[in-house]
Amino acid sequence: MKFRAKIVDLACLNHFTRVSNMIAKLAKTCTLRISPEKLNFILSDKLASGGVSMWCEVEQENIFSEFQMEGVSAENNEIYLELTSENLSRALKTAQNARALKIKLTNKHFPCLTVSVELLSSSSSSRIVTHDIPIKVIPRRLWKDLQEPSVPDSDVSIYLPALKTMKSVVEKMRNISNQLVIEANLNGELNLKIETELVCVTTHFKDLENPVLPSESVSQNRHPEDMAQVHIDIRKLLQFLAGQQVTPTKAVCNIVSNRVVHFDLLLEDISLQYFIPALS
């Protein structure tokens, strides 16, 4: 089992750093899946028990100038590692304006992901800063719990407003309640709503767009004005919004009524899926 990769392009390095910062805000620990074509950052809490799920996908050829890996076997050419997200984020923060960055799977009395940063010094010579990030190698028998989530057919899909605006609204709502109703229809309308015994507050977003859905979608038979809604923990939504480091090129909210809200983001060439379950 081997893995080594290198980034020399500064724009790619900064982009990968932003993605790592985002993951650190979304998940304290995560699974890093390494395959020949892709890296995946995975959070797989059980939705049925109220946990969130995340699946972030990075095409390795868009980030790395060198990429070599050998999985656990020829037929299972993948590696699954568990790590503390903040450790990777902290290591990459030292790589701003670096000449190059190398990532390697090592064993230094314990399994590590070793990040080596080549920095230019004032004398034009370079110095190497090395971070050894402790990891846990996940055995093959547990991989089945770490696959890409199956996405249920949504009742309504809608493009989100500016995430900074949405975050500002949700932060204010959190001062009133820990629960929030998110609802949307096929007429470009999205509402964020909180209700307590004393007050009801709703923020309306209008003139949003709905993605074009395949003709067999369940939404095709839905009246455009009918709202689909899901009741969620406002703190989980705020954590998702606070984690966004880059303005996405696409941000879609998919609602499965009373079951789950699924966010689908495209950050340049990196995709992120994030699932928040309905409160029981």
Structural domain contains residue 18: yes
Residue 232 and residue 179 in contact, taking contact as beta carbons nearer than 8 Å: yes
- Note whether 125 and 198 are same-domain residues: no
Quick one: pLDDT band at residue 150, thresholds 50, 70, 90?
confident
34 and 166 in a single domain? The answer is no
Residue 262 has pLDDT above 70, yes or no: yes
Q: Last residue of some domain: 145, 176, 210? A: 145
Alpha-carbon span 266 to 57, nearest angstrom: 10
- Give the mean pLDDT of the chain: 91
- Co-location of 102 and 127 in the same domain: yes
pLDDT for position 57: 95
At 117-148, the pLDDT tens digits run 998 877 777 889 999 999 999 999 999 989 98
Query: What pLDDT, on the 0 to 100 scale, is given for residue 217?
Result: 58
Q: How many CB atoms lie within 10 A of CB 250?
A: 12
Same domain, 128 and 160: no
Is 151 inside a domain boundary? no
238, 171 in Cβ contact below 8 A?
Answer: yes
* Least confident residue range of 142-146, 154-158, 221-225: 221-225
Query: CA-to-CA distance for 247 and 267, rounded, in angstroms?
Result: 7
Sign of torsion over alpha carbons 142, 143, 147, 152: negative
Same domain, 80 and 41: yes
CATH number at residue 164: 3.70.10.10
Does 150 reside within a domain?
A: no
**Tens of pLDDT, residues 69-78:** 999 999 999 9
One domain for residues 25 and 76: yes
- 114 and 164 in a common domain: no
> What's the confidence (pLDDT) of residue 68?
97
Which tokens hold the place of 140?
């093959």
Asked if 189 and 250 sit in the same domain, the reply is yes
- pLDDT band at 269, cuts 50/70/90? confident
| % pLDDT > 70, the chain | 95
Angstrom distance (rounded) from CA 261 to CA 276: 5
Instruction: Report pLDDT for 88.
Output: 96
Domain boundary pick from 111, 145, 179: 145
**Per-residue confidence (pLDDT) for residue 49, from 0 to 100:** 55
End residue of a domain, out of 88, 123, 145? 145
Q: Is residue 68 part of a domain?
A: yes
- How many structural domains compose the chain? 2
Q: Are residues 124 and 15 in the same domain?
A: yes
Average pLDDT over every residue of 217-245? 87
175-218 pLDDT, tens digit each: 999 999 999 999 999 999 999 999 999 999 999 999 987 655 55
Higher pLDDT, 257 or 150: 257
The answer to whether residue 228 is domain-embedded is yes
Q: What is the pLDDT of residue 85?
A: 95
Question: Same domain for 63 and 190?
Answer: no
Q: CA nearest 131: which of 89, 174, 72? A: 89
Asked whether residue 40 is assigned to any structural domain, the reply reads yes
Provide the pLDDT for residue 149. 84
32 located within any domain = yes
**137 with 184, same domain?**
no
Report if residue 20 sits inside a domain: yes
Q: Are residues 83 and 57 in the same domain?
A: yes
Range of the domain at 21: 2-145
